[in-house]
Structure 1
Amino acid sequence: VLSISSEKDALATQEKIKQSKKQLPSQTVYHEIQGGNHAQFGMYGKQKGDQPADIPALAQQKEIIQRVIEWLKPAKKLP
């Protein structure tokens, strides 16, 4: 499982993510986007209760894509 969150997300907060860890596999990979917020995950505009992002939406989207691609790469095979 890959769990991507954002620093300024006031809806899916870091506390909520921490509480949900017990429901995910121990091998889950966690990544927090610095300066990102909730709305910029889907680029659907401001969300009530969310914090303003410190980074542009496209920068957040690019980081999401990079992390997903990196996570999907197969592990190197041992000789």
Structure 2
Amino acid sequence: MLDAAVRLMRPDEGTRLKAFIVTRPPAPPAPTLLADLQHWIDRELSTPERPKAIRFGAQLPVTPSGKAADWSLHD
């Protein structure tokens, strides 16, 4: 993993956490990576700490000015 961000879901998305993960090439296929990550999350984090949704991308979402930005769960 190169970078990650975790934030609260927007009200229309839910009331839990969501995570955005930037992987280090060569990364395993997203389904494999997600399963491995979910196993680690379930083992290491308490229920309130666990992201309910996880997205992968080439870089963290940023605004045009380069500041951290929110992301959609379904892009």
> What is the TM-score when the length of structure 1 is the normalising length?
0.34
Q: Computing the radius of gyration over CA atoms, which structure comes out larger, 1 or 2?
A: 1
> What is the TM-score when the length of structure 2 is the normalising length?
0.35
Q: Name the structure where helix makes up a greater proportion of residues.
A: 1
Q: Name the structure where strand makes up a greater proportion of residues.
A: 2
